[in-house]
Structure 1
Amino acid sequence: MSGMHTQAQSAPGAQEPPAVSFNAMAVPSNYVPGLGRGATGFTTRSDIGPARMTPEMAAAQQGAPGAPAAAPAAPPKEEKKPEANDAEDDSKFDHFMGNDAGALAGTFGEYDQDDREADEVWEAIDAHMDDRRRAIREKKLKEDIEKYRKENPKITEQFADLKRKLAHISEDEWNAIPDIGDYTRHKKNKMDILTPAPDNLLAKRLAEKESMTSISVGNGLDTPAGMSTNLKAIGEGRTQMLDVNLENIAKRMGDSASGKSTVDPKGYLTSLDSVQLSSDAEISDIKKARMLLKSVINTNPKHAPGWVAAARLEEQVGAMPEARKLIMKGCDLCPHSEDVWLEAARLQTPEHAKALLARGVSYNQTSVKLWIQAARLEQDKQAKSRVLRRALEKVPTSVRLWKAAIELASEDDARVLLKRATECCPQHVELWLALARLESYDNARKILNEARRALPSEMGIWIHAAKLEEANGNKPMVEKIIVRAIKSLSDNQVVINRDVWLKEAEAAERADPPMVNTCREIVRAVIDYGVEKDDWKKTWKADAREALDRGSVETARAILQHAVSVFPGKKSLYKALAQLERQHGTSEAVAEVLERGVKYCPQAEVLWLMAAKTKWQESDAQKRESEAARRAGDEKAAAQLLQQSRELLEAARGILYSANIANSESEQIWLAAFKIEFENAEMERARGILAKARATLANERIWMKSALVERERGETDEELKLLNEGISKFPYFHKFYLMLGQLEEQRGSADAARQAYQAGLKRCMGSAPLWRSLSRLEERAGMIGKARNVLEQGRLKNPHNSELWLAAVRVEQRAGNIKAAESLMARALADCPKSGVLLAENLAMAPRPARKAKSLDALKECPDDPHVVAAVAQLVFWSDRKVDKARSWLLRAVQLARGDNGDFWALLYKLESQYGNADSQKKVLEEMRKAEPRHGERWQRVSKDPANAHASSETILKKVIIDMDKEAAP
């Protein structure tokens, strides 16, 4: 319209054109209704248009804009060609635009200059990227082609080297090539194929020949017309087959000279089971294998493996005569192959085998295998020795023959043979060492020197020399020999492999008798080879740990002793060595290591404590022996042992006194000094030590132990005072509130005890023992509801706490509410599915028939939890009297708990008391004493009872068992 207005203005005298209606005007191609005012909508198929342009659309494009297209005249009818249904007119197809340049060109935009420039840019980019990748692509293609040709070579390439060798063979060699024969498969003449006669013709012929008794099969399975089943022929056939089978069995089992069958009538049916029946497929495979091997031996009769394979095939199918025949033919054609003679001897009887091997040896005089087999066939020891010595005349350099001959000889003859063997085989170290073992000390030294000159790079000779010197008491020479060995081997360009030498040290330790000095000197000589100086400590500790895992105690001890000498100020090395001596050594060795450790590491608290504990344990051991002597009536020995116990106790006190001087602010040393006095019932000394500790240190455990001493003395007022002081100084230490509540309960003041527990819970809300103690107080007062509420509050404050769930379940059990206990247990397991204590309690609550199923569920959830393992051992295996399994599972529970749970030790001791013997019970007590258990529900309940404050671990163990029996009693 703008164009129209411009034209009217430029020609003022011209006649104005008629007005055009706005609604009749053509819509612009990019017009979107309402887009200018922000309106949007969805697009339908009518907006886009059909995929193919209709004739109306084509006409509208060609006509005036806005005017409807006239209906086209109907074209004259023409005969339709069949190709019109299959393809479009090729003239409308453009190779770049496709069909968009034909009938569909009107529905899309034109291909303008911008499109052409964009395509040129993309083509340039594609060409550039193609140039960049061309070298990589061509290289990869070349590698793929080479790899394919390598994996799939041509026939000419495979035999190229053989064809080149043909140029150098002589005429005689060419003529000696055997003829392969004609094995081609010829096409059979069709006239040779015989068509079988029809069944009715055969039946008719049989009917004419003889009369038959026949039956017909009815019910839809009738035989064809003219056919019948000959029962007589079937019976005769079965009889013949049975006769043939019996004859074969008789031949297989053998007949006597008198003609009587050796078939055992009783074992006949049993022997039929051993008859191997081959299927059609197996028979076909055997035939194919036989044909193939026949081709092999006919093509190349000098090929020994072919004859061996053919003989073994016949042996496998049971044709032993044919197998022997084939292998003997192979011996004739391949007389210089030892494998053929060995196979022939194997297939023959021993007597014939000897003759065969004699023939074979005549062709193969240097064959060690034939001589060894010939010696094995001899039954007499002297005959074997004679064969071997004759073999050594032919093959004097065979170490195998020398060893076999020496094994059969006496000591004197062996010495002579070994001397000759070292002359014939001087490079074999085993012969030298064996000769040295048989000789005297002086002669052995000479022999080892000769061996060292013959084999200067053999470390075994030097190590054997060191062992020889140690075995004869010349221990100073061991160090010299090992040092000289390292230097000599290094000079002869031998690499010193540290791991190999350490293995030799372990082997020396395991020798009979053990060569301890040789082991130690080897360790000292090679321990730092190939290890950086910064890594010495870490590497040596790892070496010692690995040696201990393999059971090589002396090697580990030598490594740690060397490490301590190199690093005298490292407390971890002293600790590791002291633990080794405690497990595998003596108390004197432990004391010596720790004494040296505290000398070089005076600030190491752990070494002082270990030293004092060692003396204290020795004192307890002497005290137990004194009591045993007193019970036996030997008062003198008892008094002497008791005096030794007191001296050791004084030594422990002296060690702790020195430790306190070096570490005056060490809490562990103060508590260790207190524990020694407390366990020995020296209350005044214990009070004095704790008073000094309180003046020196501000530690909650010091105040707790002080209150414990006052409880032991019966001074309740002083105990109350100390607890109140401790609460004022350490308000978040929950054990003060526990002890205060227990004190108030002991004094009969339930309200004061309740207040103490509640005050503790305000500050120590996460303490499960406080919640349990308050609940137990309410339960003893007869208020079960309050006890439940306390534990419910505890679980709300401490979610997923298995101890509080277990306490709630036991409250219901003690109240007799079994259903409520089971319901609580189900909720507890849902909240804490991986809790071992809950799973063990659930197993104990289950009736006996359901315990196995629940034990499987518990083990599936927590297979390595000690509580679950102990519960299964007690409630499943022990109750079913499976003692061995119960014992092994209880031992596993003890190991999983690292020996720290006294309840498991009590179960194990109870089992041994019921089913074991005195030795097993004593072993359990000794292991328990070494482990020093401190945890366990029953163990802590018994050991923390003031009445058992000074009881030994054996006494506490037995009281725990009594507590178990009381709980198990109805």
Structure 2
Amino acid sequence: MERKAFLDQEPPPGYVAGIGRGATGFTTSADSGPVRFQPNLDDEDENGDNEDELKFQDDDEGGILGLELKDKEDDEADRIYEEIDRKMNLRNKNKSTGDLELSTSETSDKIKGQFTDLKRALTSVNDNEWANIPEVGDITRRNKRTRLLEQQQQRTYAMPDSVIAGAGSMGSLNSNDEVTNFQSISQAKDLLLSKQLDQIAGTSDNNNENIAKELEELQNNDSKIQDIKKGRLILASLRKTEPRKSNSWIASARLEEQANNYTAAKKFIIEGCHNVPHNPDIWLENIRIHQKTAEGTKFCKAIVNEGLKFNIKSEKLWLKAFELENKTDVVSRRKILMKGLEFIPTNVELWKSLVNLEDSKEDVQKLLTKAVELCPKEWDFWLTLINLSNYDDAKSLLNKARKALTDNYMVWIIACKLEEREKDDIPMEKLNKLLAKGFKELEKNTVDKSHLLSKAGWLNQAIDANLEGFTKTSSAIVKVTLDSDGKESLDEWLDDAEKLILKKEFKVAHFIYEYIIDKFPNNIESWLSLILSMKNSKDFDKSKLFEYYSKAVNLNQDNELLLLMYAKDKWLLGNDVEGARMILSDASSRLPTSENIWLARIKLEVKNHNYQEAMSISTDSIDKIPTSSARVWFKHIHLMRFLARKKIVTLEVPDFLSLTTQALDLFPEEPKLYLQKSLVLVDFDLIKQAREVLSTGTKKCPNSIEIWINLAWVDEKYFKTVIRARSVLDTAILKNPTSDKLWEAKIKLERRQNDRTAAQQITNKAHKMFPSSSSIWIQHLSLIPKMSQRKNAFLDAMRTTNNSTNILLSIGVFFWLDGKFLKAKSWFERALTSNKQSGESWGWLYCFIDKYGSAQEKLGLLQNLNKNYDDINDGETWNHVNKDLDNFEKTPKEIIELVSAKLLAKSI
């Protein structure tokens, strides 16, 4: 290492080594001598022989602050301070005189002696050691900061018993106090502090709100006072300039009432009555103000009597006089109303009040008869009188009302209701004609066409009529309304019916569908909508439903869907197997080539355990429609397998091989037939031949994923050749590179071999190729070891698969395995809501309800299952159980029980 040149030079004055790196230097009296002037030194020092003293003084007091600038005042001040110091030293008796007499030279020698050995030792330090001296850090301050920080962090609290108990309940303290979870205690303490702070904050907020409210009230009071003063000035001016206007007097009274000055308010309102006596409003205000004071009802009666002298035709004053009378004094109240009607005989309100006073039907009729004469435009009087009258009188009154109220649609609706009420067997044609006449009259007599009732309004009237029990009137309203629509708009009518169904107004919706069917008898959509709404209706009538079915089938004899629905509802809803059998038999003769009808006939017989008839029908179907589709052959072979297992028929291997060969000859590219033939051979333990069939199937149907997977399964399960099974799946992937099901099969194969590493590698590769595949995501999630690590993956899976039913279901399964059963149930329900065809969702939800649900919940689930059973076709476990020959005749309840048991067994 090259030695720096400055190291051989003398350091500059005041140099301190390492000062740039934070080191601090110091000097002692051994280096510089004493710096404090001692007042008791020898006379020699006082005369200036002490060289160090003189140097100190020159350095310290040189320049503009030197001794040369001192004046007499400064000398006098110095003398005073010296005298004070002398007296203070004399008063300090506790101080030792020996210490004060210690000489500077002795002190210096003592300090020098302490550092002599250290200075001598520095001569042995070589250049390298000197260069490698570490940098001097600010260790003292750093240690001080660390110590202060530790002291701040070491806080102690008076811990309440509730916090300690809460921490203990969370597992923070064990029974032997060996382990203490301070984090839990800290969380409990923070929770307690936060609650206290919230309480304090809440109290503070309440106080602030109260203070703010008080300030606001004070400001409002001040502003009210100012407003009242201004209002008085303005109203005083108005009363002087326009004393004949009632508004200024009423406003003045109300202003004084607001200021709680009731004396002034009464004075103003009385004066107003004198100035404007012919205004009924000011008399009513006078009564109101006096009612709030101590005058009472008697004085108010006097006021209203006085007001009536000037306003004899005021409806309000007569009604106020009626109101002021005692309610039990019916005679007086009646007299007032009768007196009022003498002066204003056409007043509707007075008549209504008078009619309401009467209890006798005859008296009410008399009053209403007079009322309709004097108030012919008031429909309520007509309606009440019609309802109280017999049929003949009501008809007469309706004719009079029709002449008086030419533009009132209610006249015609009430006429229809009257006819329906009096004649239960009245034909619909009569009501339709009556209402159609009413539509024409309304159209002719209504000047402003915008006042005519809209279609929606008429349909609302139909709803009201139906709710009142007038179903024929409701139907007539619907028919005439749609007739007068002016255009045959099928889409609009269907939309109207759907809106009514959403409102649960099924009956009126039925009337719309009936109208559409009359107009368009071959519109299948209308028939289906009508039938569906009838089945959902709260007043469901089976006989009416089957009547519509019969009419629909007769009008549409070649419609396969209507025939199948009719037979199914006849069987299940009507519990009429023979009737359903006749419908399907007739349908088969009408549509002899319809495979759906043939299969429906077979299903009907199988479900009712009539196996011989089912076999006969199935055999006829392949004889009459052999080339219809592979489905017919598949169903026939499946039925034969079941009957052979039940020993109802005797069939050997050649018989089955003959059937399957015939089917494959007709449909050589149907994958299901190859799978079925392999199953037949497995039933007879002909595994080698079954593998050959599947191998042939891969050549004929290379795109059939199920054949490849089943071929690999046969190699793995029966031949125990896992290598060949892997090879089969690899070959299948080469031919079907876009199939995620094959990758899923590969992953499952490795997992069955307990090779988790290989399964993980295949999953990662498949996950990159199929990022939105729900089946690959499920395998990926199942390979994550901990539930806590899966939660973020759940979110990614739902996002990338667009909330796939399988993902929702698998999340529920993971929660189930984690012991969180309520959470699992919520996910099962979500999965079932998203896809009711998922058999796995039905099975898992049944698992929960069977173990933790109530009997009512279980019954509800089974009822829903029965409704949706025929449509459930999704799910590996469901299909495996449902298509098993041993379960061929099992009920939906038995199937769901088997599915749930198998799902639980697979999850363990």
1:935 aligns with 2:885: no
Q: Distance in 2 between matches of 1:731 and 1:467?
A: 69
1:476 is matched by which residue type in structure 2? I
Query: What is the DSSP-based 3-state SS (H/G/I as helix, E as strand, rest coil) of the residue aligned with 1:277?
Result: helix
Distance 1:560 1:481, change over 3 A: closer
Higher RCO (CA-CA < 8 Å; seq separation 6+): 2
2:889 is matched by which residue type in structure 1? H
Distance 1:297 1:778, change over 3 A: farther
Q: Distance in 2 between matches of 1:374 and 1:779?
A: 102
In terms of mean alpha carbon deviation, does 492-501 or 342-351 score higher? 342-351
Distance apart, 1:392 and its partner CA:
6.2
2:655 is matched by which residue type in structure 1? E
Query: What is the DSSP-based 3-state SS (H/G/I as helix, E as strand, rest coil) of the residue aligned with 1:748?
Result: coil
Matched with 2:379 is 429
CA contact (8 A) 2:269 2:286 kept: no
Please point out which of 451, 455, 462 is paired with 1:505: 462
Q: Write the deviation string for residues 158-179 of structure 1: whole angstroms up to 9, x where unpaired.
A: xxxxxxxxxxxxxxxxxxxxxx
1:692 aligns with 2:642: no
1:732 aligns with 2:669: yes
1:956 aligns with 2:886: no
Distance 1:477 1:564, change over 3 A: closer
1:548 aligns with 2:465: no
Please point out which of 628, 634, 637 is paired with 1:704: 634
Distance apart, 1:529 and its partner CA:
2.0
In terms of mean alpha carbon deviation, does 799-808 or 539-548 score higher? 799-808
Q: Write the deviation string for residues 374-397 of structure 1: whole angstroms up to 9, x where unpaired.
A: 988999576899499489647665
1:701 is matched by which residue type in structure 2? R
CA contact (8 A) 1:547 1:556 kept: yes
Over the aligned positions, Cα root-mean-square deviation in angstroms equals 5.0
Q: Distance in 1 between matches of 2:479 and 2:636?
A: 51
Q: Distance in 2 between matches of 1:757 and 1:838?
A: 25
Distance apart, 1:516 and its partner CA:
1.6
Write the mapping of 1:338-349 to structure 2, written as runs, cut at 5 A: 338=281, 345=288, 349=292
Distance 1:609 1:752, change over 3 A: same
2:506 is matched by which residue type in structure 1? V
Q: Distance in 1 between matches of 2:702 and 2:880?
A: 23
Q: Distance in 1 between matches of 2:769 and 2:349?
A: 71
Matched with 1:612 is 567
Q: Distance in 2 between matches of 1:920 and 1:738?
A: 39
CA contact (8 A) 1:324 1:348 kept: no
Distance 1:590 1:270, change over 3 A: same
Write the mapping of 1:803-882 to structure 2, written as runs, cut at 5 A: 803-804=741-742, 807=745, 810-811=748-749, 814-815=752-753, 866-867=805-806
Write the mapping of 1:484-523 to structure 2, written as runs, cut at 5 A: 484-492=434-442, 493=444, 494=446, 497-511=454-468, 514-523=469-478
CA contact (8 A) 1:778 1:786 kept: yes
Distance 1:417 1:675, change over 3 A: same
Distance apart, 1:399 and its partner CA:
4.8
Q: Distance in 2 between matches of 1:684 and 1:367?
A: 93
CA contact (8 A) 2:231 2:255 kept: no
Matched with 2:706 is 769
Which structure 1 residue ranges, 5 or more long, are not aligned?
1-267, 622-647
Query: What is the DSSP-based 3-state SS (H/G/I as helix, E as strand, rest coil) of the residue aligned with 1:276?
Result: helix
CA contact (8 A) 1:307 1:340 kept: no
Write the mapping of 1:369-408 to structure 2, written as runs, cut at 5 A: 386=333, 389=337, 393=341, 399=348
Query: What is the DSSP-based 3-state SS (H/G/I as helix, E as strand, rest coil) of the residue aligned with 1:725?
Result: helix
- State how many pairs are aligned: 666
CA contact (8 A) 2:406 2:441 kept: no
Please point out which of 918, 925, 932 is paired with 2:862: 925
Matched with 1:947 is 886
Query: What is the DSSP-based 3-state SS (H/G/I as helix, E as strand, rest coil) of the residue aligned with 1:321?
Result: coil
Q: Distance in 2 between matches of 1:350 and 1:826?
A: 89
1:484 is matched by which residue type in structure 2? L
Write the mapping of 1:345-356 to structure 2, written as runs, cut at 5 A: 345=288, 349=292
Matched with 1:142 is none
Matched with 2:144 is none
Identity over aligned pairs, percent: 25
Please point out which of 742, 745, 749 is paired with 2:682: 745
Query: What is the DSSP-based 3-state SS (H/G/I as helix, E as strand, rest coil) of the residue aligned with 1:506?
Result: helix
Q: TM-score normalized by structure 1?
A: 0.57
Distance apart, 1:947 and its partner CA:
0.5
Query: What is the DSSP-based 3-state SS (H/G/I as helix, E as strand, rest coil) of the residue aligned with 2:215?
Result: coil
Distance 1:555 1:309, change over 3 A: same
2:436 is matched by which residue type in structure 1? I
In terms of mean alpha carbon deviation, does 341-350 or 749-758 score higher? 341-350
Q: Distance in 1 between matches of 2:873 and 2:471?
A: 41
2:901 is matched by which residue type in structure 1? I
Distance apart, 1:662 and its partner CA:
2.0
Matched with 1:966 is 905
Matched with 2:411 is 461
Please point out which of 650, 660, 684 is paired with 1:723: 660
Distance 1:550 1:836, change over 3 A: farther
Write the mapping of 1:878-889 to structure 2, written as runs, cut at 5 A: none
Distance 1:888 1:343, change over 3 A: farther
Which structure 2 residue ranges, 5 or more long, are not aligned?
1-205, 447-451, 645-650
CA contact (8 A) 1:509 1:552 kept: no
Q: Distance in 1 between matches of 2:861 and 2:483?
A: 42
Q: Distance in 2 between matches of 1:401 and 1:787?
A: 98
Q: Distance in 2 between matches of 1:325 and 1:802?
A: 93
Matched with 2:400 is 450
Distance apart, 1:949 and its partner CA:
0.8
CA contact (8 A) 2:322 2:337 kept: no
Matched with 1:654 is 582
Query: What is the DSSP-based 3-state SS (H/G/I as helix, E as strand, rest coil) of the residue aligned with 1:961?
Result: helix
Q: Write the deviation string for residues 107-164 of structure 1: whole angstroms up to 9, x where unpaired.
A: xxxxxxxxxxxxxxxxxxxxxxxxxxxxxxxxxxxxxxxxxxxxxxxxxxxxxxxxxx
Distance apart, 1:473 and its partner CA:
4.1
1:595 aligns with 2:569: no
Please point out which of 408, 426, 429 is paired with 1:476: 426
Matched with 1:562 is 515
Q: Distance in 1 between matches of 2:821 and 2:885?
A: 38
Q: Specify the structure having the higher radius of gyration (Cα).
A: 2
Q: Distance in 2 between matches of 1:875 and 1:337?
A: 80
CA contact (8 A) 1:670 1:693 kept: yes
Q: Distance in 2 between matches of 1:670 and 1:282?
A: 87
Write the mapping of 1:227-376 to structure 2, written as runs, cut at 5 A: 276-278=214-216, 297=235, 300-301=238-239, 320-321=259-260, 329=268, 336=279, 338=281, 345=288, 349=292, 359=303
Q: Distance in 1 between matches of 2:734 and 2:291?
A: 88
Please point out which of 651, 662, 665 is paired with 2:593: 665
Q: Distance in 1 between matches of 2:896 and 2:729?
A: 31
Distance 1:825 1:603, change over 3 A: same
Query: What is the DSSP-based 3-state SS (H/G/I as helix, E as strand, rest coil) of the residue aligned with 1:519?
Result: helix
CA contact (8 A) 1:331 1:341 kept: no
CA contact (8 A) 1:836 1:865 kept: yes
Distance apart, 1:327 and its partner CA:
9.4
Q: Write the deviation string for residues 367-422 of structure 1: whole angstroms up to 9, x where unpaired.
A: 76787789889995768994994896476656566667766765747666655554
Matched with 2:693 is 756
Q: TM-score normalized by structure 2?
A: 0.61
